[in-house]
């Protein structure tokens, strides 16, 4: 995984030839469009439990293409607004995760001796500790004064950075051995200067590919935590819809639409992120580019 990318232009040309990656990108743009245009697509009043206009748990029809839930709300309206919440949570958590992961990774690779060693150990601990139990525990003990949606973002952010940190550290170690960094060191460049001007630009392509994969995990995590009841019931995300469906008897009533549509929205967006991430990796890794020869 050498990040020896020539220019953004050639990178984009490689990426554009990748059909999987382009499919993922188009889907992501579509979802972003839905999230941005949510107020135009569906009336937010339809999200309120007391404003349900349809029959409870009725199957898809012309008026309610995705059917209704137990309060007679349109599942379509909830899925559209859920797109917004799920994407915001996913992206915000990813940003936190990438900032921590990149920072810890560069520092762990740059500083020799105890500080670097300690950061490396910390990364390994977080890699080993099972993700979901840790996230559950964190979400449970979060101060109740903090809005739950913020809590979820922070919880996901601080539990998902370790794999990024590990990758970035490995890349930093390989960059630190290169001659120009030794020159920067010899010329008396400070730690901050070395890391910011020389290491960071070189790990960025790797971080970029990792971001999309982390985003897919963050969105999955948000949905899973919300499904387990740790979500914000005031702000309907896909996971919250699924939690309400599970609690509200969708299973015993066989109300498949209440589960399938939010579920599919989730799977498709996670898939889109994964496809993009894989394509980015292929574009970055010359070993794979030649593989189809």
Interactions with another protein, residue window 145-184 (CB under 8 A): 145, 160, 162-164, 166-167, 170-171, 173-174
Which listed residue (74, 102, 202, 210) binds another protein by CB under 8 A?
210
**246 lies in the site for another protein, by CB under 8 A:** yes
Q: Measured from the CB atom, is 56 or 189 closer to another protein?
A: 56
Which listed residue (230, 236, 241, 283) binds another protein by CB under 8 A?
230
CA angle, corner 85, sides to 80 and 87, nearest 5?
Answer: 95
Looking from the CA of 45 toward its CB, the CA atoms found within 13 Å total 3
**235 lies in the site for another protein, by CB under 8 A:** no
Angle separating helix axes 114-128 and 75-110, nearest 10 degrees: 150
CB of 50 to another protein, least distance (A): 24
Phi-psi category of residue 188: left, alpha or beta, with phi > 0 → left and psi -120 to 50 → alpha: left
Looking from the CA of 97 toward its CB, the CA atoms found within 13 Å total 32
φ/ψ (deg, to 5) at 74 = -75, 125
Q: Measured from the CB atom, is 181 or 250 closer to another protein?
A: 250
Q: Segment 259-288, which members bind another protein (CB under 8 A)?
A: 259-260, 263, 266-267, 270-271, 274-275, 277-278, 281-282, 285, 287-288
Annotate 127-140 with DSSP letters as a single string: HHS-HHHHHHHHHH
CB of 125 to another protein, least distance (A): 5
**58 lies in the site for another protein, by CB under 8 A:** no
CB of 4 to another protein, least distance (A): 12
d(CA 44, CA 42): 6
Contact 122, 107 (CB under 8 A): no
**11 lies in the site for another protein, by CB under 8 A:** no
Rounded to 5, what percent of the chain is helix, strand, coil? 75, 0, 25
**73 lies in the site for another protein, by CB under 8 A:** no
Which listed residue (28, 108, 245, 283) binds another protein by CB under 8 A?
245
Q: Measured from the CB atom, is 104 or 213 closer to another protein?
A: 213
As given in the structure block, the two tokens for residue 44 are 């937010």
Which listed residue (29, 36, 127, 150) binds another protein by CB under 8 A?
127
């Amino acid at each position: 995984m050498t990040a020896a990318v020539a220019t953004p232009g050639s990178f984009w040309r490689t990426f554009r030839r990748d059909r999987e990656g382009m499919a993922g990108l188009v889907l992501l743009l579509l979802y972003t469009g839905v999230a941005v245009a949510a107020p135009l697509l569906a009336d937010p009043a339809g999200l309120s439990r007391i404003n349900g206009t349809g029959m409870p748990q009725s199957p898809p029809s012309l008026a309610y293409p995705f059917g209704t839930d137990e309060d007679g709300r349109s599942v379509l309206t909830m899925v559209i607004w859920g797109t917004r919440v799920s994407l915001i949570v996913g992206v915000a958590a990813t940003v936190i995760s990438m900032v921590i992961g990149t920072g810890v990774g560069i520092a762990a690779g740059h500083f020799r001796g105890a500080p670097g060693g300690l950061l490396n150990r910390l990364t390994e601990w977080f890699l080993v500790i099972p993700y979901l139990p840790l996230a559950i525990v964190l979400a449970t003990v979060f101060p109740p004064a903090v809005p739950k949606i913020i809590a979820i973002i922070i919880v996901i952010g601080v539990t998902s950075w370790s794999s990024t940190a590990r990758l970035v550290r490995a890349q930093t170690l390989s960059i630190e051995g290169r001659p120009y960094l030794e020159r920067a060191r010899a010329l008396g460049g400070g730690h901050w200067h070395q890391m910011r001007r020389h290491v960071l630009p070189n790990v960025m392509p790797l971080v970029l590919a990792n971001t999309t994969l982390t985003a897919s995990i963050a969105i999955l995590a948000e949905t899973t935590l919300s499904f387990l009841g740790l979500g914000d019931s005031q702000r309907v995300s896909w996971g919250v819809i699924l939690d309400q469906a599970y609690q509200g008897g969708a299973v015993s009533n066989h109300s498949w639409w209440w589960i399938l549509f939010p579920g599919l929205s989730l799977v498709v967006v996670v898939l889109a992120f994964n496809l993009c991430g894989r394509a980015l990796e292929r574009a970055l890794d010359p070993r794979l580019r030649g593989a189809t020869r």
